[in-house]
A and B are shown apart, each in its own frame.
Chain A
Amino acid sequence: MAPLLSVRDLAVQFKTRKSTIRAVNGISFDLNAGETLGIVGESGCGKSVSALAMLGILPKAGRVTRGEVLFEDVDLLKLPDSQLRQIRGNDVAMIFQDPMTSLNPILTVGRQITEALRKHLDMSKSKANEEAVALLDRVGIPAAKDRIGDYPHQFSGGMRQRVMIAMAISCRPKILIADEPTTALDVTIQAQILEVLKQLVAEENMALILITHDLGVVAGTCGRTNVMYAGRFVESAPTRKLFAKPRHPYTLGLLKSVPRLDAARKEKLQPIGGTPLSMTSEIEGCAFAPRCIYATEESRTKTPELRRIDSDDHLVACWNPVQEQDMPRIEIVAARDEGVAG
Chain B
Amino acid sequence: MTISGTSELLKVEDLKVYFPIRSGLLFDRQIGDVKAVDGVSFEIKRGETLGLVGESGCGKTTVGRTILRLYDPTEGRIYFEGQDIATVSQSEMRKLRGRMQMVFQDPYSSLNPRQSIGNLISEPLKIHGISSGDKARARAEELLEIVGLPKSATARYPHEFSGGQRQRIGLARSLALNPDLIVADEPVSALDVSIQAQMINLLEELQEEFDLTYLFIAHDLAVVRHISDRVAVMYLGKIVEVADADALYASPRHPYTMALLSAVPIPDPLVEESRERILLKGDLPSPANPPQGCRFHTRCPFRQPERCDTEDPKLRTLADGHVAACHYAEEIMAGRIKAFGAGEAQAAS
A interface residues with partner B (beta carbon < 8 Å) = 42-43, 142, 156, 158-159, 186-192, 194-195, 213-217, 219-220, 239-240, 243-244, 253-262, 265, 268-273, 275, 330, 333-342
Contacts and interface: CB of A to CB of B under 8 A. Distances in A.
A258 B220 CA distance: 11
B263 A191 contact: yes
B252 interface: yes
Contacts of A220: 265-266, 269, 272-273, 275
Contact of A257 (B162, B193, B279, B302): B193
B280 A188 contact: yes
A261 B55 contact: no
Contacts of B277: 191, 195
B278 A341 contact: yes
B264 A270 contact: no
A158 B338 CA distance: 27
Interface string B260-302: 1111111111111101111110111000000000000000011
Given A42-B194, A338-B335, 14 more contacts: A142-B347, A187-B264, A188-B55, A188-B280, A244-B270, A254-B194, A258-B193, A258-B267, A260-B268, A271-B194, A333-B250, A334-B250, A339-B335, A341-B276
Main secondary structure of the interface of A (DSSP, over half): loop
A243 B261 CA distance: 21
A296 B123 CA distance: 45
Nearest to B282: A142
26 contacts: A156-B284, A159-B283, A187-B260, A188-B260, A188-B279, A191-B277, A191-B279, A219-B266, A219-B269, A219-B271, A219-B272, A254-B194, A255-B267, A258-B197, A258-B267, A260-B222, A260-B267, A261-B266, A268-B201, A268-B204, A269-B200, A271-B198, A336-B249, A336-B251, A337-B251, A339-B335
B258 interface: yes
Contact of A340 (B263, B275, B332): B332
B200 A259 contact: yes
A270 to B, nearest CB: 7
Nearest to B278: A342
Interface in B88-144: none
Contacts of B226: 259, 265, 269
Contact of B193 (A187, A191, A213, A339): A213
Given A271-B195, A342-B276, A261 B246 contact: no
**Binding site secondary structure of chain B:** helix
Contacts of A42: 192-194
Nearest to A333: B250
A72 B280 CA distance: 39
Interface residues of B, number: 60
B314 interface: no
Interface in B210-224: 219, 221-223
Contacts of B278: 341-342
Nearest to A222: B269
Contacts of B155: none
A261 to B, nearest CB: 4
Contact of B301 (A43, A239, A342): A342
Contacts of A342: 258, 276, 278, 301-302, 338-339
Given A186-B219, A254-B194, A271-B201, A340 B264 contact: no
Contacts of A336: 249-252
Contacts of B251: 336-337, 340
A190 B55 CA distance: 11
Contact of B270 (A216, A240, A334, A338): A240
A340 B223 CA distance: 23
A243 B201 CA distance: 23
Contacts of B245: 265
Contacts of A219: 265-269, 271-272
A156 B194 contact: no
Contact of A261 (B164, B222, B258, B280): B222
Interface in B291-330: 301-302
A219 B268 CA distance: 5
Contacts of B332: 340
B46 interface: no
Contacts of A215: 193, 267
B333 interface: yes
B263 A190 contact: yes
B156 to A, nearest CB: 16
Contact of B192 (A156, A186, A189, A213): A213
A270 B197 contact: yes
Contacts of B334: 339
B106 to A, nearest CB: 15
B193 A275 contact: no
Contacts of B272: 216, 219-220
Given A337-B251, A342-B278, A265 B201 contact: no
B152 interface: no
A327 to B, nearest CB: 13
B259 interface: yes
Nearest to A158: B283
Contact of A243 (B268, B280, B283, B338): B268
A253 B194 contact: yes
Nearest to A253: B194
A259 B223 contact: yes
Nearest to A337: B251
Contact of B225 (A240, A258, A265): A265
A214 to B, nearest CB: 7
B258 A341 contact: yes
B280 to A, nearest CB: 5
Contact of A214 (B252, B265, B271, B275): B265
Contacts of A240: 269-270
